[in-house]
Structure 1
């Protein structure tokens, strides 16, 4: 048994403790993987089980669960946000409405990217535009190798911003890190997106989940006390971060520790959207996703 615990997580204010010298759980010293951006840890985790513990996009986890990958979802939300503003067009390009995207081309890093999952769900739910009515122009393959993409997914070289700039797509799904390379601010397509986001949140009772924490099943089963201690440490970091902000924005409001109504609502909506979009093909329940974690960590984790 290795004396170290390999952990792949992004450095957030609520995870900074994991990088402190000498941080350990039980008798296992935590060794942080050097992965930047963090999504580059997802494929090695689901294909090779490279890490003991890894941050994981919820869409990737849903696909990994369907594929039988032996990793367990812990009830810890490390990142999330509303995503109406993530559907953008190039500055100076022609104005378009969300309904204009039907029959068009929209760029996204990967069809299974979680931000894309949320944006497609919004398009269907609020504007009646189904995922199958758009050609999704992607630049990367799925993290889960066995996943077969729908026929309206196309792969092209380059980055999403390149696709958008050269006009190979009329719109793109982009999160804040990708926007740094844009020449001027990209323009959100959904009108009054701030108000629309809060309305979505009130309707669903949650802020969309992007990344949660996962653990190898064999580690959870052989050393549950180690995972419990790690779970408590991440939970404490999340609660401390939330308590420090008197007027939290959606990215802080998205953080969650434990199985509560907001986490359940977020997971259920992600499942519903994933089934609609063929991101997953078999129904699954929230209880099934959290069963192993709850069984080993406690009734409500």
Structure 2
């Protein structure tokens, strides 16, 4: 190890907060070979030293530059090596967090192993959720079958946020679960992904849902309808919005009217027209505004 790196590590361990601060601030200038030593120092019994080491690792992460640079590849390789060999959970959690920022396909198989670790699975899911590409999609989807229900919901959320089509069959299956939380997690993922399937998706039954779960379910349907309209599947979107016009709560009717106002087809206009004389003043006013917007398009 070069003298500069050796002095840097010595300063990270200093009893002086000022020296430690100055050290981690220049961590981005250091050779990535300091990463294993910093990982060990993160587990220090001295809080100031542990924090300085953590800050230094973060600084190194932010120093890697553009994708596929030599420094980036070296830093990732060092992180992955330490992740597989360091025993401290706090260190592993931190490295997964850093890899979520710079990792790629090379990170996926290592991070995926931690999806089965109850103490690190959340960090692993977070890491994979932020890594672009089909490999991360496959790792998240592949972990669902063996995961407990509460973590199935987390994995579905990750696939939903990624709008990953590989999550659709898993979301559809989850929506039929007797576990209502899991069923709603499936609905939310389905709504966010926003893609149609050859076979129609069966939504969770409303019976037995809490009011909040019903809200989440309806919100997911609206999200899906919006995606259909954006993707050119206007007929599907209109059908969903028309169903919302029969909801008792005015805000759901109003949301549907707003959605219909963005679809410039006669079928959408007819649905809006049906609410122009609603007895509910808010629904009526929203319908009038939607009608005007639709007419001006």
* Bucket of the pairwise TM-score, normalised by the shorter protein: under 0.3
Structure 1 or 2, whichever has the larger Rg, is 2
Q: Which structure dedicates a bigger proportion of its chain to helix?
A: 2
TM-score (norm 2): 0.22
Q: Which structure dedicates a bigger proportion of its chain to strand?
A: 1
